């Protein structure tokens, strides 16, 4: 469970640094890179704010340069969003692009 306040904007959680994510700004993208490239069975992200308006996409980049994209996802505050992955490839980076 995260240490951020439940369902509110918090300095203890990542939020886009803009009022509106309708443009294609990098400010609305969170990129995570594991220290060790690893094969994943599932990927979970806990939303500390109300992201019910949607997530544009989650892009999973593999070490061979290919990627999987999950689009138009919906998440609710104080709940994890879990994606089941079927690829046998190791993950290099995960990008989350949010609507705001």
Q: Percentage of residues in the chain with pLDDT exceeding 90?
A: 37
Q: Is the pTM of this model over 0.85?
A: no
**Would you kindly state where each structural domain of the chain is located, as residue ranges?**
26-98
Please determine, for residue 12, whether its predicted confidence score (pLDDT) is greater than 80: no
Asked if 66 and 92 count as a contact pair (C-beta separation under 8 A), the reply is no
Please determine, for residue 83, whether its predicted confidence score (pLDDT) is greater than 60: yes
Asked if 41 and 49 count as a contact pair (C-beta separation under 8 A), the reply is no
Please determine, for residue 33, whether its predicted confidence score (pLDDT) is greater than 80: yes
Q: pLDDT confidence of 1, banded at 50, 70, 90? A: low
Q: Which fold is adopted by the domain 26-98?
A: Jelly Rolls (2.60.120)
Distances (CA, A) of 39 to 16, 27, 46, 86, 93: 28, 28, 20, 10, 11
Asked if 83 and 70 count as a contact pair (C-beta separation under 8 A), the reply is yes
């Amino acid at each position: 469970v995260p240490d951020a306040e439940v369902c509110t904007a918090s300095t203890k959680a990542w939020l886009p640094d803009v009022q509106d994510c309708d443009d294609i700004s990098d400010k609305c993208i969170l990129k995570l890179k594991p220290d060790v490239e690893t094969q994943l069975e599932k990927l979970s992200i806990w939303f500390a704010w109300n992201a019910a308006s949607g997530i544009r996409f989650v892009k999973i980049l593999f070490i061979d340069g290919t990627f999987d994209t999950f689009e138009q996802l919906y998440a609710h505050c104080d709940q994890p969003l879990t994606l089941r992955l079927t690829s046998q490839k190791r993950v290099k980076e995960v990008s989350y692009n949010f609507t705001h």
